[in-house]
Amino acid sequence: MFTITKEFHFSASHELKHLSEDHPCYRLHGHNYVVEVVLQSETLNSVGFVRDYRELSPLKTYIDERLDHRHLNDVLGDDGVTAEQIARLLFQWCKARWPETIAVRVSETPKTWAEYRES
| Per-residue 3-state assignment (H helix, E strand, C coil) for 71-105 | EHHHHHCCCCCCHHHHHHHHHHHHHHHCCCEEEEE
> Catalytic residue at 71?
no
Amino acid, res. 113: W
Catalytic residue among 15, 25, 36, 71: 25
Amino acid at 98: W
> pLDDT tens, 26-74?
999 999 999 999 999 999 999 999 999 999 999 999 999 999 999 999 9
108 catalytic? Reply is: yes
25 among known catalytic residues: yes
Q: Which of 18, 55, 69, 84 is catalytic?
A: 69
pLDDT band, very low/low/confident/very high, at 108 (cuts 50, 70, 90): very high
> CATH number of the domain at 2-117, please?
3.30.479.10
* Across 82-86, average pLDDT: 97
Average pLDDT, the chain: 96
Query: What per-residue confidence (pLDDT) applies to 25?
Result: 92
Measured distance CA(27)–CA(16) in Å, rounded: 7
